[in-house]
Amino acid sequence: MELFASPGQYLYNLQTTSSSEAKRMWRRSIKEKWNCECAYCGSTENLTLDHVVPRSKGGADETKNVVCCCQTCNHDKGHTPWQQWYNSQYFFDPDRYQKILDWMEPEKPKNLYAYGSRRNNAT
């Protein structure tokens, strides 16, 4: 299943017909992209989603800001900046840290001119 940037895009791309189903699909897709394990500690128990940059601190409700997370890490992190919190954890893993940074990196702009000009050469 394709991972879209927000639940609304599941509706727009006709993957579903209700907003509640779109949210479920979006959440499930994020968990699957993280192999159903916590992005921070690697646990597979009691999984939920975590806003890396909390919404209360201006974080967006979009795929690039949401990771699969166990309830323990989600509750413990709270509104703390994720890098500060994660660096102080006993389970800190540089590979997981880099994976989260890569996940949050904005997508590169697409080439809007990939098909060339639309000039009519038939004259």
24 and 68 both lie in a single domain: no
21 and 59 both lie in a single domain: no
Asked, for residue 75, whether it belongs to a domain, the answer is yes
Asked, for residue 1, whether it belongs to a domain, the answer is yes
What is the predicted pLDDT for the residue at 22? Answer: 77
Among candidate residues 43, 98, 50, 55, the one with its CA nearest the CA of residue 74: 50
Range of the domain at 13: 1-33
User: 50-109: per-residue pLDDT in tens?
Assistant: 999 998 888 888 889 999 999 999 999 999 999 999 999 999 999 999 999 999 988 776
28 and 41 both lie in a single domain: no
Q: pTM of this prediction? A: 0.75
Asked, for residue 80, whether it belongs to a domain, the answer is yes
18 and 68 both lie in a single domain: no
45 and 99 both lie in a single domain: yes
Asked, for residue 121, whether it belongs to a domain, the answer is no
Asked, for residue 119, whether it belongs to a domain, the answer is no
Q: What's the total number of domains in the chain? A: 2
CA distance 19 to 94: 37
Q: What angle do CA 69, 3, 1 make, to 5 degrees?
A: 105
Asked, for residue 122, whether it belongs to a domain, the answer is no
46 and 26 both lie in a single domain: no
